[in-house]
Amino acid sequence: MSAPAHTATYAEEVIARCKKLATFSEDPGSTRRLFLSPPMHDVHREISGWMRQLGAEVSIDAAGNLRGLYPSARPDAPRLLIGSHLDTVPNAGAYDGVLGVVLAIALLQALQGRKLPFAIEIVSFSEEEGVRFGTPFIGSRALVGRLDEKLLDREDPRGVSVRQAIRDFGLNPNEIPQASLNENTLAYLEFHIEQGPVLEKLGRPLAAVEAIAGQTRLEFTFVGQSNHAGTTPMNLRYDAIAGAARWICAVEQLAHGTPGMVATVGMVEAKPGAVNVIAGEARVTLDLRHGSDSAREQAVRSLIRKAEEIAARRGLTVKRKLLVEQQAVAMDPFLVAEIEEAIRKAGCEPHRMVSGAGHDAMILAEQVPAAMIFLRTPGGISHHPAESVGVEDVAKAIDCGLHLLDQLAATPFPQSRTQRA
């Protein structure tokens, strides 16, 4: 099936719909929609209407994921999942997460009632960002059976637990096991804005994501001795923040020298924090990511050694605490190759890249083949009201998606998760 001539019209509607959903917010004048917050009811109502018009059977599972099943011609056919998340960060843009859901609906529109050898299930995840409860992927964890009692008991800053938030939304947390993936699930696909500047720099609208980077987050505390800023000679100081600063420069230098690596010291806290007092303690964070776990782990070890060396030279001590250790997740090679071919058929030069950000696809990949398609992000801006997409790029994404559906319908794709295992 070739892409319809009116794909651009679908693309314009996708952008308009994303902008409309952005108005459903906890904050007047900006977009903030956390896990199962009241405006999520409005979003569900709007998206449900769009899916029902296309013949999809709509439901909300006990984790608050909105799901729409577009049937195959065969009642026993396997299903292909396409989706993304509906929650946002505070002061968000209109496209992160939501675009992937609305694009999936546009693909159903473009099918114009045509049935495929597999059903299509659109999954709009209730939570991915981790803002409300400090733990991401609540929605997709439910599909792979990882929404456990400990997570359900986790509380937000107001003392409301995940379990209670589910009840407050009108759902029954005891039914969460029923949210698990259907045993006849073929795969999971996710369209998402890149959230970075790479595709714009390359001049390409789309990319196939070949992996989601592994991530390590650490907290380092350099400890020296506080003293008077005016009376302590420079050679008799044990300045914790000066030691931390030297280490921060080493972090940047290592990342610049390692292709594909990004490293960020995102928080620096000095104590006692007075302008006329030498800092006796400096706490800094490290966020280090790479598509190769071995490269990431080697870099972490190197930076730990560097922190210890700097501290020893300056008469300081340093201690560390591991905050996050997340392995890299490879996307399914078959799907990545099919996406590249679909991008080519849509008239674009294929490009593969690693996602530096985490996505629901990394959770679904635990149980089914998963893959992602990135769309160019103008200016590389995301998690900000200035976040945007181009109508031409959205049209190319729809073209790509239609070609991909045709390719999967015509190939000996794995017939079930059980057979794959």
Task: Report whether pLDDT(318) > 70.
Answer: yes
What phi and psi values does residue 319 have, to the nearest 5 degrees? -125, 160
Task: Report whether pLDDT(417) > 60.
Answer: no
329-370 pLDDT, tens digit each:
999 999 999 999 999 999 999 999 999 999 999 999 999 999
**By three-state DSSP, how is residue 421 classified?**
coil
What phi and psi values does residue 57 have, to the nearest 5 degrees? -90, 120
Dist CA 199 CA 193 (whole Å): 10
Average pLDDT over residues 157-185: 97
Of 140, 148, 223, 132, give the one whose Cα is nearest residue 181: 140
**How many other CB atoms are there within 10 angstroms of residue 16's CB atom?**
11
Question: Is the distance from CB of 127 to CB of 88 less than 8 angstroms?
Answer: no
| Domains, in order of start, for the chain | 7-212+328-420 (3.40.630.10), 214-326 (3.30.70.360)
Question: Is the distance from CB of 373 to CB of 189 less than 8 angstroms?
Answer: yes
Give me the pLDDT at residue 413, please: 64
211-246 pLDDT, tens digit each:
999 999 999 999 999 999 999 999 999 999 999 999
Contacts of 284 (CB under 8 A, 6+ apart): 219, 220, 221, 222, 244, 247, 248, 265, 267, 268, 269
Dist CA 377 CA 362 (whole Å): 21
How much is the pTM?
0.89
Question: Is the distance from CB of 324 to CB of 216 less than 8 angstroms?
Answer: yes
Of 367, 293, 362, give the one whose Cα is nearest residue 327: 293
Dist CA 124 CA 126 (whole Å): 7
Query: What does the DSSP assignment read for 146-191?
Result: ---HHHHT-B-TTS-BHHHHHHHTT--GGGGGGGSPPTTEEEEEEE
Give me the pLDDT at residue 315, please: 98
Dist CA 252 CA 36 (whole Å): 38
Give me the pLDDT at residue 416, please: 42
DSSP class of 30: S
**By three-state DSSP, how is residue 408 classified?**
helix
Calculate what percentage of the chain has a pLDDT beyond 70: 97
Task: Report whether pLDDT(412) > 80.
Answer: no
Question: Is the distance from CB of 205 to CB of 199 less than 8 angstroms?
Answer: yes
Task: Report whether pLDDT(2) > 90.
Answer: no
Dist CA 372 CA 392 (whole Å): 19
